[in-house]
Structure 1
Amino acid sequence: MAAPLALLLIVAVTIRALLFRSSIADLISERVEVVSPLNAWKRVVEGLALLDLGVSPYSGDVFHETPLVIYLFHFLVDYAEVAFMIADGITAVALYLAVRDYNKHVFRKQKYALEADRYPLDCLELIRTPRQMHYIPLKVAMFYLLNPFTILSCVAKSTCGLNNAVIALFILSTIRGSALLSGIFLALATYQSIYPLTLFAPALLYLLQRLYIPVNVHRSSFWVFTMQYVFVFLGSLSVLICLSFFLLGSWDFLPSVYGFILSVPDLTPNIGLFWYFFAEMFEHFRLFFICVFQINVFFYTIPLSIKLKEHPVFLIFMQIAVISIFKSYPTVGDIALYMAFLPAWTHLYRFLRNIFLVSCVLLACSALFPVLWHLWIYAGSANSNFYYAITLLFNVAQILLVSDYFYAFLRREYHLTHGLYLKRKDGTEATLVLK
C-alpha cells in the first residue's frame, strides 16, 4: 500500500503547487469560507511585520494565532507554501496509519467474538472482512488530500492545516497506545484552539481499554494511569504556555488568542453560527448567549462519552465533528478533517437514512456560498440574511450527517447483540426504534 499512498501524495502536491502558481490563489485566500480572523495568512504576515519591528504582534487587533506559530513562520515565511503542503501530507499519512492500526484492532476483536460465539447467526453479514477493510486507510488519506475543502485551505495558507496535522498525530499516538505522545499532541492541539480539550475523554477511554482492560489489571491501576495521563496533558500544556511567555516576555497572547476565541469580538462573516446572531444581539444579552453558544462544544462530550464509552475511536470522530460545527470561527478546513473519516465507516452505509439528501444539500450550499456572497457584497442585490440562511442550512446538513452516522452506528451495534432480523413474540417482524 506504500506505492498508492506515495502516488496519492504526489498528485495532491502537484494540484496544490499548480494552484499556488495560478491567478486564483489570491482570490481563495480572501474567501471567508476558507479563512477566518484566527487563521488567515495575511494576519500572520502582519504579526511577523510587527515582530520584526520589535513590537508585540498582539498589540493591535489583527493577529490572534499562538506565539509558537508566529515564531515558527518567522523562520519558514519564505517556505510557507512548502510548509502547508507538508502539513497536509503529515495529516494524511497520520490518518492512514491510524485507521490501518484501528482496523487491525477491530479485526482481532471480531475474531475473538466469533470464536466465542457472541454474535447471533443472522448478523454474520454485518461482520467486516479483511478484504472490505483493506483499502479503507488509503481512502481516508484520499478523502483528506483530494477534498476540495482541504485543497482550498492549503492554497489559502490557512493555519487550520497545522491544527489538523497536530490532531491527526494525536489520533495516531492514541490508537498506537502511546500515552506520552497522545498527551503531548493533545496539549499542543488544545494550546492552538482550546476546543480539542474535548478529545481528552475519548483518548483516555481508548488508552484505558487498550492498556488495562485486556490484562484485567486492578481497578486502582486505572486511577493511577488516569492521573498520569492528566499530568502529561496538563504538564505539556503548562510548558507550552510558559514557553510562549518567555518568547514574548508578556502574557498578551492569552486575551488575544483564547479570549478572542471565547468572546467572539470579530463578527466577520464565516460558515459558523456565531457571527450573524451576535451582530443582531443586544449588548446586555451578549455574555449570556456567548456562554450558551460556547457550551455546546463542551456539553455534548459528557453524553457522547457515556453512550460511546466502549467505542472511543468513533467518539473521537463525533467530537471532531461537533467542534467543526459549533466552534466560534470555523472554516472548511475543519470540516475536511472529520469528513476524512467517512470511509472508515463504510460498514454503516446500509443503516444511513438521509445520506443522499444531506450530500446534495452540502454540495448545493458549497456552490451557493460564493454566489450569495457576491450578491450581498458586490452586486448589492441581496443582504446578510441570504448568506446566513445558506450558512444555517449548511450547518443543519452537517448536524444531520453526524446524527445519521451516530444512529447507524448504534443500530449496527444493537443488531450485533440482538440479531439482524428482529421478531415480536407472535413471530411477526419487529420495528427497531432507538430513543
Structure 2
Amino acid sequence: MSVILIYILGAALRFAVSGNTYLENRPELSNPTNSWRRLVEGIYLQKQGLSPYDGVVFHESPLLLRLYILLEPILVDYSTLSFILLDLLTCLILGKIGDEFAKTLLSDQKRDKNEVHPEAGSILISSNLLNTLPKSLSIFYLLNPYLLLNCSAKTTTVWNNLLVSLVLLGQVQSSRILGTLALSLAAYQGFYPIILIFPLSIQIARCEDGGLDWRGFKSVFKTVSCFIFFSGFLLFLSAQLSGSWKFLDSTYGFILSVPELTPNMGIFWYFFTEMFEHFRVFFLATFQLNLFMYCIPLSLRFWRTPLLLSVTLVGLTAVLKSYPGLGDVGFFLALLPLFSHLLPFLKQTFLIAGIMLATTILAPILWQLWIYNNSANANYYFAINLFFSTAQIFLITDLLFASVKRDFFLKEGYSVTEKEKDGKKYILQLK
C-alpha cells in the first residue's frame, strides 16, 4: 500500500465518521479540557464581550482562543475538513520523524558495529527501515481507531498531538529553536508536555557535545532557558490580551486542581469523587507528582535513547494526566512503529492487546448500563478505566524492558543466558 493511498483512506474514513454529534459527547473522547462544544461556547462568550474565564466552562488558553476566533469561519463552517487536515499534517510530520530516526538508527549501528557480538547478527536493523518506518507510522496514525474517533469528535487533542509531533521532530533533528518553540506551545495548551524538556535537552546536548559532561550541561541550560523564554513570552502576551492573569486559574489551575470530576478514561475522577475533602489536597499533590517523579530516573537510565524516553513520557502522560482521552492514547500507540526493532523482545503484546480491545468495547456498554439503564454503577465503569490504564502501563514497561534486552544481547550475545551458577541460569531483569 502506497503512502498516498494510506492518506486518502485515512481522510476518507475520518470524513465518513464525522458529523456524528454522539461522538462529541462521549466521555472516552471528550473532557472539560478538549471539548469542541466548550470551545464554541468560549468563542461565543468572547465575541459577546464577556470573559469566558469568569465561568467554569472554558479552559483553553487566551492565545488559542484568539486563534480560534480568527479562524472561526474555517473551524466552524468547515470544522470537519479542518480537523482532518490537522490530522493529515500530524501524520506528515510523523513520517518525517520516522525518516530521520531510521537514518539515526542505521548510522549508530554502523558506528558501533565493532561492539556487536557475533551472535547478535539476527537482531541488527535492516536498511529497509528507511522505507518501511515512515509508511508504518502513517498506517498506525491514520488507521488508528482511537485517533479516527478523536478526530471525528473534534477534540482539541488533535492540536496537541500536532504540537507534540513538532516537538519530536525538533528532537530528532536536534533543532533547539523548533523543539523549544513547539514544546512551549504544547505546554501552553495542555501543561503536561512540559516533561518532554528532559529528552529534548538530552538529545540536543548529545548532538552538540557528544555526551553529558560540563559542556553537555551547558547545552541543557541553553535549551531550558530557550524554553522558559518562549513560555514566558506566551504567558505575558496572554495576560496582555486578556487584561489580567485570571486565565491561569481557569487553564493550568483547572488542570492541576481537578475541580470537575466528570467521568473519563483516567483515574482521577473516581478517586476524588470518593475522597474526603480534608484529604483532597494531599492526594491531589500525590497524583500530580506521580507523573513528574518518573522523569529524572527514566532520563538517567535511558539518556542514550532520547526518543524512546520521549515516547515513554508521552505514554505515561496519557495514563496519569488529570483529564485523558482516547486521543492521547492513540497518539502514543501511533508512535510505537518507531521501535519496531524491539518487537522480537516484547513479551506481553497478546495480553495487552486483549485487555485494550476488551476495555475499549466494554467502556461504552457499561456507560450505557450506568447512566441510562440504571442497572450498573460507577464502580463498573471505573473498573474498565483501571484495566485500560493498567494495559498501558504494561505496554510501557514491556517496551522499556525490550530495549534493555536488545542492548544486552547486542553486546553479550544469547549464550550468556544459558550459563549456570550454583545450578541456576542467569536471568535478565529490568532495574
Q: What TM-score bracket applies, with the shorter chain setting the length?
A: over 0.9
Is the aligned partner of 1:83 residue 2:77? no
Offset of 1:83 from its aligned partner? 2.4
Equivalent position of 1:15 in the other structure = 13
Please name the residue that 2:94 is paired with.
95
Q: 2:298 corresponds to which residue?
A: 304
> Does structure 1 conserve the Cα–Cα contact (< 8 Å) formed by 2:405 and 2:428?
no
Match for residue 197 of structure 1 among 181, 194, 198: 194
Shift of the 376–405 alpha-carbon distance from structure 1 to 2, 3 Å rule, reads same
Which residue of the partner structure matches residue 290 of structure 1?
284
The partner residue of 1:5 within 3, 6, 11 is 3
User: Aligned equivalents of 2:22 and 2:214: distance in 1?
Assistant: 57
SS for the counterpart of 1:270 is coil
Partner in structure 2 of residue 362 of structure 1: 356
Counterpart CA distance in 1 for 2:125 and 2:292 is 33
1:57-79, Cα deviation, whole Å (9 max, x unpaired): 10100001111221111122332
User: For residues 422 and 96 of structure 2, what CA distance do their matches in structure 1 show?
Assistant: 46
1:100, 1:123 → 2: CA distance?
A: 24
Aligned-pair distance for 1:132?
4.4
Deviates more, 1:166-175 or 1:343-352: 343-352
| 1:26 match | 21
- Point out the more displaced range, 58-67 or 70-79: 70-79
* Residue 129 of structure 1 pairs with residue 126 of structure 2: yes
* Amino acid across the alignment from 1:109: D
2:221 to 224, 227, 230: 227
- Kindly state the Cα deviation for residue 392 of structure 1 after the two structures are TM-superposed: 0.6
1:158 is matched with which residue? 155
Q: Percent identity?
A: 36
Shift of 1:425: 6.1
Say whether 1:250 aligns with 2:247. Answer: no
Provide the rounded CA distance (Å) in 2 between the counterparts of 1:421 and 1:38: 52
- C-alpha deviation, 1:431, in angstroms: 3.5
- Structure 1 residue aligned with 2:37, among 38, 42, 52? 42
- Asked whether the equivalents of residues 119 and 413 of structure 2 are also in contact (C-alpha less than 8 Å), the reply is yes
Looking at structure 2, the residues matched to 257 and 291 of structure 1 have their Cα atoms a distance apart, in angstroms, of 17
Distance 1:231 1:315 in 2: 21
1:188 to 162, 166, 185: 185
Q: Distance in 1 between matches of 2:224 and 2:9?
A: 40
Residue identity matched to 1:190: A
- For the 8 Å contact 2:265–2:324, the answer to whether it is kept is yes
> Shift of the alpha carbon at 1:248?
1.2
How many residues align? The count is 425
Map 1:389-428 to 2 at 5 A. Answer: 389-422=383-416, 423-424=418-419
Contact 2:21 2:153 in 1 (8 A): yes
Question: Per the alignment, in what secondary structure is the counterpart of residue 115 of structure 2?
Answer: coil
SS at match of 1:32: coil
Whether the aligned pair in 1 keeps the contact of 2:206 and 2:216 (CA below 8 Å) is: no
CA RMSD in angstroms comes to 1.7
Encode CA deviations 1:313-354: one digit per residue, 9 max, x unaligned. 100010000111000000000011110111222222222111
Counterpart AA for 2:43:
L
CA distance in 1, matches of 2:201, 2:245: 31
Displacement after TM superposition at 1:225 (Å): 2.2
Indicate the residue corresponding to 1:385 in structure 2.
379
Q: Which runs of 5+ in 1 are unaligned?
A: none
The answer (yes or no) to whether the contact 1:373–1:387 under 8 Å persists in 2 is yes
- The aligned counterpart of 1:271 is 265
Please give the TM-score of this superposition, normalised by the length of structure 2. 0.95
Matches within 5 A, 1:111-150: 111-114=110-113, 117-150=114-147
Residue in 1 that maps onto 2:107: 108
Query: Which stretch shows the higher mean deviation, 90-99 or 26-35?
Result: 90-99
